[in-house]
Chains A and B, each alone.
Chain A
Amino acid sequence: MFNDLYQAVILDHYRTPSNVGQIEGAVQVRNDHPSCGDKVLLSVLVEDGIVQDIAFVGEGCSISQASLSLMTEAVKGQPVSVIRDLYSAFRDMIHGQEPDEELLGDMVALHGVSRFVARVPCAMLGWETLAQVLPLDQPAPDPDPTCGPG
């Protein structure tokens, strides 16, 4: 179960993430999950309904950062209509449905997250942020299970 979660793809993307940085002239959004300190500054450059460029500066756990890295790889160069399908397939997978492997590609490495309810918000951080920039249809926010009493 735990090997499922920490697949090599995830650890690789965590250690050496793709598309790190900021893009000049792009739309920028910040998002964070204050209870765990996961943070992202996402830059998205959209032209003619296509994500021409995307980059992020992030901080957080392996799941949130690998998910961001994988997401930026998957959406770069894609039209919003395709990204919408990716988003919904990704969300379904994270919420426990069988993944659409063909559509999701490397992001399938994150399917193990669905068995760790507490980590679902980590995997969704990037997509949730992207959905603030692009019309991907807002998901119901995941309750944050990590800030209990302590």
Chain B
Amino acid sequence: MAVPFERIQADFPVLAREVHGRPLVYLDNSATSQTPVPVRAAIDAYYAQSCANVHRGLHALSAEATDLYEGARDKVMRLVGAPGRESVVFTRGTTAAINLVASSWGECLQPGDAILITVAEHHANLIPWQQLAKRKGAELRHIPLTAEGTLDLSKLDELLTPNVKMVAFAQVSNVLGYVAPAAELIAAAKSVGAATLVDAAQSVGHMPVSFAELGCDFLAFSGHKMCGPTGIGCLIGRRELLDAMEPIEYGGDMIVHVDLQNATWNHPPYKFEAGTPPIAQAIGLGAACDYVTELGLDWIRDHTTALCDQAAAALSAIPGVRVHGPLTGRLGPVAFSIDGVHPHDVATLLDGEGVAVRAGHHCAQPLHGLLGAPSTARASFYVTNRASDIDRLVAAIGVVQKVFG
């Protein structure tokens, strides 16, 4: 069911603000989404009434804080179809989650093994594997792109040899916006016995995502791209793998028994959550899970895709404007270039019109090399957007072209 824009306006007061004297049009959701009132209220309620550490106090506030924190884990578990709470590890975000896997699970790699990713990965899903491959004498391979800017699986058989031990890819590209054929990739990876990691930074909270249905081994995402706060994200992992993995951080909460010489580890997820966790942020993420569920993940996906389709069509119809990646079926980001105008100048002038977009390589430098543009401008859509935002974007691009005309 469609969510009325009035509801969204009430939940996101920021939409009423002005920037440089113009009503704000926020089109930088792929970097960080706005935070709705219920999420802020959940964070505030913790600080206002139940602020205490978790898992260690015998007093009422600590018990409440623990309930809220662990309750958030249950909400995440339900949102992403994790097999159990022990599979839900809170991390600082997607980056920390992928690094955890590369550092810990990655220890099992041998010289001559291979890791398969794609050329379009965010640096967060590239550099941890690149460095792991260097450390272990393994090979890093990349799935290429089609001319349209989607994943080219035509050579998958050649890339996916039996020495491939990990296949890691973004479910939704943060530049090209495509939705990767995750089921096909995971099935292919399994056929050679490779583990799989899905970088779901742009997909969880944007479309229905189920860890169980995907059948992957690891899934990573961030709270701040799905209406939640910054500083929190998750690694969802298969229990057997998490059991076998060593922690990468040591300290409080992650142990069962400690003496002066030795320690034994707590079970997952606690084994990977050393120290006081970001409690308020986890609670905020739990509230964000509720929020996107309430809006409806099918609605969010359909709404976002419709806006992207419209935006891609409108932008590519402007002479001198080029959209990077497919023109339909995108989920969130629409990267584009304007002839003769550097993306930073585009972003600055759009900002002057009240339209917030990102310009740069969007932490995907190798991809930009392939696109033949060291950087691009990117408008990215989510629940807070509506069709009139595209009109504002198009009008603002007109201003850019006039200044540089």
Contacts and interface: CB of A to CB of B under 8 A. Distances in A.
Interface stretch (A29-37, A70-78, A103-111): A29-37
Contacts of A148: 31
A35 B360 contact: yes
A12 to B, nearest CB: 12
A3 to B, nearest CB: 9
B360 A36 contact: yes
Contacts of B124: 149
B362 A6 contact: no
Given A6-B349, A37-B361, A149 B342 contact: no
Interface stretch (A41-49, A56-64, A127-135): A56-64
Contact of B374 (A2, A37, A150): A37
Nearest to A2: B352
Interface string B8-33: 00000000000010000000001110
A36 B20 contact: no
A150 B363 contact: yes
Q: How large is the interface on A (under 10, 10 to 19, 20 to 34, 35 or more residues)?
A: 20 to 34
Contacts of B95: 149
Contact of A122 (B174, B344, B363, B404): B344
B122 A61 contact: no
Contacts of B378: 150
Nearest to B349: A2
B122 A146 contact: no
Interface residues of B, number: 32
B20 A1 contact: yes
B397 to A, nearest CB: 14
Contacts of B373: 37
A116 B364 CA distance: 24
Contacts of A118: 344, 348
Nearest to B405: A11
Contacts of A34: 361, 365
B82 interface: no
Contacts, number: 73
Contacts of B122: 150
Contacts of B365: 34
B107 to A, nearest CB: 27
B342 A62 contact: yes
Interface in A80-139: 116, 118-119, 122
A25 to B, nearest CB: 30
Contacts of A149: 31-32, 93, 95, 124, 363
B152 interface: no
A11 B403 contact: yes
A35 B358 CA distance: 12
B27 to A, nearest CB: 13
A148 B361 CA distance: 10
Interface in B364-378: 364-365, 368, 373-375, 378
Given A35-B360, A61-B345, A150 B375 contact: no
Contacts of B375: 35-37
B359 interface: yes
Interface string B380-405: 00000000000000000000000110
A147 interface: yes
Contacts of A62: 341-342, 345, 404
Nearest to B333: A150
Contacts of B368: 37
A5 interface: yes
Contacts of B403: 6, 11
B359 A1 contact: no
Nearest to A59: B374
Contacts of B32: 149
A5 B344 CA distance: 13
Which of A36, A37, A149 has the most B CB atoms < 10 Å from its CB? A149
Contacts of B362: 150
Given A150-B31, A150-B358, A1 B342 contact: no
Nearest to A150: B362
Interface of A: 1-2, 5-6, 11, 34-37, 39, 59-63, 116, 118-119, 122, 146-150
Interface of B: 20, 30-32, 93, 95, 122, 124, 174, 341-345, 348-349, 352, 358-365, 368, 373-375, 378, 403-404
Given A37-B361, A119-B344, 16 more contacts: A2-B352, A6-B345, A6-B349, A36-B342, A36-B359, A36-B360, A36-B361, A61-B345, A62-B345, A122-B344, A149-B32, A149-B93, A150-B30, A150-B174, A150-B358, A150-B362
